[in-house]
Amino acid sequence: MGHATMIGQMTSVIILGLDPGLGTTGWGLIRAEGNRLSHIANGQFKTSTADPLASRLVALHAALPALIAAHAPDEAAVEEVFVNSNPQSTLKLGQARGVVLLGAARTGMPVGEYAARLIKKSVVGVGNASKDQVHAMVLRLLPGATVTGPDASDALAVAITHAHMRTSLQRLSVC
């Protein structure tokens, strides 16, 4: 892959955040240079509810490699599945998440996985933050970013969480 570069002692890394969903998968790309974060791009992959499940998964599978080829991220991060009251919805979300994980992992880049509560806590400061609170903090942390929708905002939050976690781990490894 590769844009990881050294700037002085700081490494610049491009992180792809992914918020998987069968109907809409959000994606967001940020650059992390130490604690400094900057927005690169964001968007959403959408599938039609009129299409069979297998076709929707194929469409999702086809969209991700093109995005990765266009931006060559160094690392990826994916939101973990949460179990909701509808087992069928949870299963479909899990299938979409599997396609997204596979698409990112096939490139050989490291892929982090984060629970929704951890993402909200990392970005907003509380694990039960609303989507609106997450969106507002994403815009604050990435000034000038125009976000294409709630799923893209969530994906940027996943990327921000990954950037925070990798910076914390680097600090710990120095000690």
Q: Which listed residue (74, 79, 113, 132) is catalytic?
A: 79
| Cβ–Cβ under 8 Å, residues 96 and 21 | yes
Phi-psi region of 4 (alpha: psi -120 to 50; beta: other; left: phi over 0): beta
Q: Which listed residue (19, 74, 75, 154) is catalytic?
A: 19
Please give the average per-residue pLDDT across 120-128, as a whole number.
94
Residue 4 has pLDDT above 60, yes or no: no
At 168, is the pLDDT very low, low, confident or very high (cuts 50, 70, 90)? low
Cα–Cα distance measured from residue 60 to residue 131, given in angstroms and rounded to the nearest whole number: 23
33 is catalytic: no
Residue 167 has pLDDT above 80, yes or no: no
Question: What integer pLDDT is reported at residue 82 of this predicted model?
Answer: 74
Q: Which listed residue (74, 75, 151, 154) is catalytic?
A: 151
75 is catalytic: no
Residue 99 has pLDDT above 70, yes or no: yes
Residue 98 has pLDDT above 80, yes or no: yes
Question: What integer pLDDT is reported at residue 84 of this predicted model?
Answer: 75
State the pTM of this model.
0.89
| Cβ–Cβ under 8 Å, residues 135 and 49 | no
pLDDT in tens, 138-156: 999 999 999 999 999 999 9
79 is catalytic: yes
Please give the average per-residue pLDDT across 5-29, as a whole number.
85
Q: Mean pLDDT over all residues of the chain?
A: 90
Cα–Cα distance measured from residue 142 to residue 30, given in angstroms and rounded to the nearest whole number: 9
